[in-house]
Amino acid sequence: MNKQKIKVLCVDDSALIRSVMTEIINSQPDMTVVGTAADPLVARELIKQTNPDVLTLDVEMPRMDGLEFLEKLMRLRPMPVLMVSSLTERGSEIAFTALELGAVDFVTKPKLGVRDGLLNYTEVIATKIRAAAAARLLPSRRSTAAKSLDAPPGEAPLRSPLLSTEKLIIIGASTGGTEAIRDVLQPLPSDSPAVMIAQHMPPGFTKSFAQRLDGLCRITVKEAEHGERVLPGHAYIAPGGYHLSLARSGANYVAHLDQEPPVNRHRPSIDVLFDSVAKHAGRNAIGVILTGMGKDGAEGLLRMKQAGAYTLAQDEASCVVFGMPREAIALGAANEIAPLSEMSRRVLAHLRSSFGERVNRV
C-alpha cells in the first residue's frame, strides 16, 4: 500500500514564491501542495478545507503578519509550520521568534535570483518539510522566553573548584535544536565549563542565535572564532557554513573553523565537532546529542564515549524530531538518556561526581 503523501499548504504574498514552492514540493514523490494563499486570512479558510500536514509560512504579508498568524494558529489549531524568512538581521530575529512561538524550522529566501535560488534549495526544503511532518509539536516557548535563570531545583551553582579549563560540555542539535539548546544553557551557572555547540543552521543566522542566547544565559554565548581560546563560562556556537572543531595550542583548548566539504550533508557537522573532542579531550568532555532529523552526530558521540567521555541523548518524548538521538542510542553511544527538562541537571550532576572522584583520588 502506498504511503499517503505529505499535504503542504504554502502561504506567501509573492506569487513567484508560491509558484516555485509548488514546483519544488510537487517534484517530490512523497509530498504534494494542497493549496496556496497570499495572506493568512485566505490561509485560515484553506486550512479548514484541506487539513494540511505542514504549513509553509512567509513572515511579512498583508492583512496579518506571519508571526501574528503563527501565534493564533499554534494556540487554536496547532500544526507543523515551516517559516520562510529573508536572510537579513531582522529576518533572523523574526525566525527565532517564530521558533519560540512553535514553528518547527525555517528556510531562507535568496536575496537575488529568487526562482533559481529557491530551486537550488530543493533538497533542503524537501528535507525540512519531511522533518516538519514527522515533528512532535511542543508548547509555545514565547511565554518562557524570560524564564528564571535559577539553577535547577535542589542544585547549588558550581563553585570555583570546578572552574576548570579541562572540562568541556559539547552539544549537537538540528531540527528543534534552537529552543532545546536554550533549555540546556539557561540553567548553567556562570562558572560552567566551556560549551561548544554545533547546530545545523544556515550562514547569517548563527550570530543572531548566539546574541539571543547571550541575553538569556548566565554564561557568555558567542559565535566561535577561529583560533580563539576555549574558556570556562563561555559557549561557542559553530558559525553557519563552517565546521567547528576542538584543537589544542600548547596546554590550551582552541576553536578551529574550516570550510571543508559538508559531512552527513551538513556544515557545521556535529560528527566533525564530536570527533575532534574525542581526539583532544577524551574523558574531560561531556557529549550531548539533542533533537534533530537524520544521523549526524551519532557515530561521533560513540567515538566520544569510546574515548572516555560521558555521553547523553535526549529522550523521544521531549524531542521535536527523535532522529539523531535515536541513531545514537541504537549505536550504544549514550551513557544516559534524559528528557530535555533534566539535561542540564544531569550534566551538572556528572560534573560534581567527577570532581568528587578527583578530590578523593588526591
Instruction: Say whether 160 is catalytic.
Output: no
Instruction: Say whether 174 is catalytic.
Output: yes
pLDDT band at 147 (very low <50, low <70, confident <90, very high): very low
Mean of pLDDT values over 126-130: 93
Residue 59 is predicted with a pLDDT of 79
Question: Tens digits of per-residue pLDDT, 74-94?
Answer: 999 999 999 987 765 666 788
Mean of pLDDT values over 224-246: 97
Instruction: Say whether 226 is catalytic.
Output: no
Question: Tens digits of per-residue pLDDT, 182-194?
Answer: 999 999 999 999 9
Catalytic residue among 85, 140, 174, 318: 174
pLDDT band at 145 (very low <50, low <70, confident <90, very high): very low
Mean of pLDDT values over 40-63: 90
SS (H, E, C) the chain: CCCCCEEEEEECCCHHHHHHHHHHHHCCCCEEEEEEECCHHHHHHHHHHHCCCEEEEECCCCCCCHHHHHHHHHHHCCCCEEEEEECCHHHHHHHHHHHHHCCCEEEEECCCCHHHHHHHCHHHHHHHHHHHHHCCCCCCCHHHCCCCCCCCCCCCCCCHHHCCCCCEEEEEECCCHHHHHHHHHCCCCCCCCEEEEEECCCCCCHHHHHHHHHCCCCCEEEECCCCCECCCCEEEECCCCCEEEEEEECCEEEEEEECCCCECCECCCHHHHHHHHHHHCHHHEEEEECCCCCCCCHHHHHHHHHCCCEEEEECHHHCCCCHHHHHHHHCCCCCEEECHHHHHHHHHHHHHHHHHHHHHHC
Query: What domains can you pick out in the chain, each with its CATH number?
Result: 6-142 (3.40.50.2300), 160-361 (3.40.50.180)
Catalytic residue among 85, 86, 183, 200: 200
Residues above pLDDT 70, as percent of the chain? 87
Asked if residue 140 has pLDDT above 80, the reply is no
Range in 61-65, 147-151, 193-197, 271-275 the model is least confident about: 147-151
pLDDT band at 152 (very low <50, low <70, confident <90, very high): very low
